[in-house]
Amino acid sequence: MADDTGLKEAYRELDDAIRRVIELSGSDDHILVEWIVCAASQRIGEDGTSYTITDFIVDPDNNAPHYRLMGLVDFVHELLKQQAMEGDSE
């Protein structure tokens, strides 16, 4: 298992970074209530097969119910689909 102290520090740094990105994006008048980070990484097996691994990180200090987190993911999913469709039509 990961070093608990290091993990807590990493979560704090991640939270600070998310807040900073929001601020620099011109949305500094918003209050951050929840966040989820989705990530994909790739591993190459010994036989050369490529594997994609997905992870998601949720703020451990936020006790938001799952339905709120799923709603956040669903909303972003719909935005990405809309952006993809608009991009394909050009």
Residue 28 is part of which domain span?
Answer: 1-32
Query: Does 44 share its domain with 27?
Result: no
Query: Does 37 share its domain with 80?
Result: yes
Q: What is the model's pTM?
A: 0.75
pLDDT band for position 2 (cuts 50, 70, 90): low
pLDDT digits (tens, 9 = 90+) for 14-62: 999 999 999 898 877 888 889 999 999 999 999 999 999 999 999 888 8
Query: Does 50 share its domain with 70?
Result: yes
Task: Tokens 């601020």: give the residue.
Answer: 23
Tally of domains in the chain: 2
Query: Does 81 share its domain with 38?
Result: yes
Contact 57, 37 (CB under 8 A): yes
DSSP line for 6-63: HHHHHHHHHHHHHHHHHHHTT-TTS-----EEEEEEEEE-TTS-EEEEEEEEE-TT--
Distance CA 71, CA 2 (A): 29
Query: Does 53 share its domain with 65?
Result: yes
pLDDT at residue 85 above 70? yes
What does the pLDDT read at residue 87?
Answer: 83
